[in-house]
Amino acid sequence: MDKTIIQHMETVRQITERAIMRIPEEMANTIPKGFNNNIRWNFGHIAFVQEKLVYGLLGEEMNIPSNYEQLFGAGTSPADWMEMPPSLLEIAEVLTEQKERIKEFIQWHLYETLPTPFTNRSGITFYTVGEAFLFSFYHEAMHVETIKHLYRVISSE
């Protein structure tokens, strides 16, 4: 089963990696009417949340750029950015590197109990790394769908 879970993570992340490589950089910052964030924020948010759910909740070091939480954490917005965000290529590199680190790490921690149960913004509580990790697939897919919607709206403008 553990192998299947890792394969699923790779599949989800491959979809994300293909999507980020198809988006032109000049489209990444547009926030169309009716949306709260842009394409760049959604890709960065995927990387930040995955890192938090796999490493951060355990108290392990998060190995993504230190500014990702301020730029892409829950409740943040590109409208509040006070610094230049990373390019899509830089975010793509983080996503790819992260996938490889998680493949090595998760096999030893999947069933580990979190030091403190974590309740997300939807009210779902996770007690193990595996529960949080499995939820991250849903989270990532949801944001990839948002990116697709953003892309369609921006392309039609």
CA-CA distance, 27 to 31, in Å (whole number)?
Answer: 9
Domains in the chain, number:
1
Domain span at residue 55 reads: 2-156
User: Could you tell me the pLDDT band of residue 1, with boundaries at 50, 70 and 90?
Assistant: low
Q: Average pLDDT of the chain?
A: 96
- CATH code for the domain of 81: 1.20.120.450
80-125 pLDDT per residue, tens: 999 999 999 999 999 999 999 999 999 999 999 999 999 999 999 9
Give the Cα separation of 85 and 65 in Å (integer). 11
Instruction: Count Cβ atoms below 10 Å from residue 40 Cβ, excluding itself.
Output: 26
- When pLDDT is averaged across residues 123-135 and rounded to a whole number, the result is 97
For 49-63, the pLDDT digits (tens) are 999 999 999 999 999
Helix (H, G, I), strand (E, B) or coil at 126: strand
Tell me, what's the pLDDT at 18?
97
* Rounded-to-integer distance, Cα 152 and Cα 90, Å: 23
- 157 pLDDT higher than 90: no
For 7-22, the pLDDT digits (tens) are 999 999 999 999 999 9
Confidence label for 44 from pLDDT (cuts 50, 70 and 90): very high
Gap between the Cα atoms of 71 and 120, Å rounded: 19
Continuous segment of H or E residues that includes residue 128: strand 125-128
Element (H, E) at 143: helix 129-156
- Output the pTM of the full model: 0.96
